Amino acid sequence: MTSALRAPLALLALVLSFPLPASAAETGGAKVPIRPKHAAEGGSGSFLQPDTSLIDTPTTAVLDYGGYAAATRFFSAGGVLQHVSFGVFHRLNIGASLNVDRLIGTDSASRLRAPNVQAKYRFYDGEDWIPSAAVGFDGQGHLYDAAAKRYNHRHRGFFLVATQELFIPGLQAHPSINISDFDSNSIYGAIPVSLTIRDRVCLMAEWDGISDWSHSRINSGLRVYVTPGFHIDFGVRGIGQGGRFDDGSPRGPERVVQIKYSGNF
């Protein structure tokens, strides 16, 4: 078994050992739904699928049990990143991702990178002013350095994330901390904010990779909900950055487009 698989499998064993929360009947309170948002004015009563992530950062939302999602991201130099995820148990999602560099365009030197895995467990739904919380693992990095055989933007690794609605409806903060590399034991942070407007669009902003200013990133984007289960993201990563990475690739802002479809079996 490769080291890339040991970490998410260890997380899966850990979260399955957690006791399940008491039911609403046992606690005497109403059960908090996993996906709290719904289309307000459409009259159809259909629910928006959970926003499990923003541009790069996770939220505490998870797919419902029996849910699935497929996301395709188009990034710099014709690269494509494909994600799939599934709600395998109540509160627990697992998934996988595959990165292909230079897939789109006239460059024939397209390269398939090793697949990576993801897992997330939402262990607390939150109440009033106490945020919901989730733990997880994400092995997918960004901008692969072929010479060093690693991503210039390292994978998130193990993370803890909280989500809390702020002072106006639809405005949420999703702060998180993560450890990407246990050899260095470096702890990183992220401060993402999202604003959903009338269940039609979502404005997103992130300060990610917070350890020191030179290695952190400012990302922003717009999410358009075409249908309750389908949305399109337009984003810019690394706003204001310049220079080059060690492999000579540009370190400046990167435009990304992502399409995502979610549903239930």
And the tokens for 260? 């995502």
Please report the pLDDT score of residue 46 as a whole number: 61
Please report the pLDDT score of residue 92 as a whole number: 98
Look at residue 8 and tell me whether its pLDDT is greater than 80: no
Average pLDDT on 148-159 reads 94
Q: What is the pLDDT of residues 209-245, one digit of tens each?
A: 998 777 899 999 999 999 999 999 999 999 999 889 9
Q: How high is the mean pLDDT of the chain?
A: 85
Average pLDDT on 138-142 reads 96
In the chain, domain spans: 3-17+37-264
Please report the pLDDT score of residue 261 as a whole number: 97
CB of 101 closer than 8 Å to CB of 79: yes
Q: What is the pLDDT of residues 54-81, one digit of tens each?
A: 999 999 999 999 999 999 999 998 999 9
Look at residue 250 and tell me whether its pLDDT is greater than 50: yes
Overall CATH class of domain 3-17+37-264: mainly beta
Look at residue 107 and tell me whether its pLDDT is greater than 80: no
Closest C-alpha among 158, 214, 204 to residue 181? 158
Look at residue 144 and tell me whether its pLDDT is greater than 80: yes
Q: In degrees, to the nearest 5, what angle opens at C-alpha 37 toward C-alphas 33 and 42?
A: 130
Q: When comparing pLDDT for 260 and 39, which is higher? A: 260
Average pLDDT on 109-126 reads 95
How far lies 69's CA from each of 64, 93, 98, 198, 231, in Å?
11, 10, 14, 23, 11
How far lies 240's CA from each of 75, 136, 218, 243, in Å?
18, 29, 8, 10
Q: What DSSP string runs through 95-153? A: EEEEEEET-SSS----EEPPPEEEEEEEEE--BTTBPEEEEEEE---EEEETTTTEEEE
How far lies 262's CA from each of 63, 65, 66, 67, 247, in Å?
8, 12, 11, 7, 36
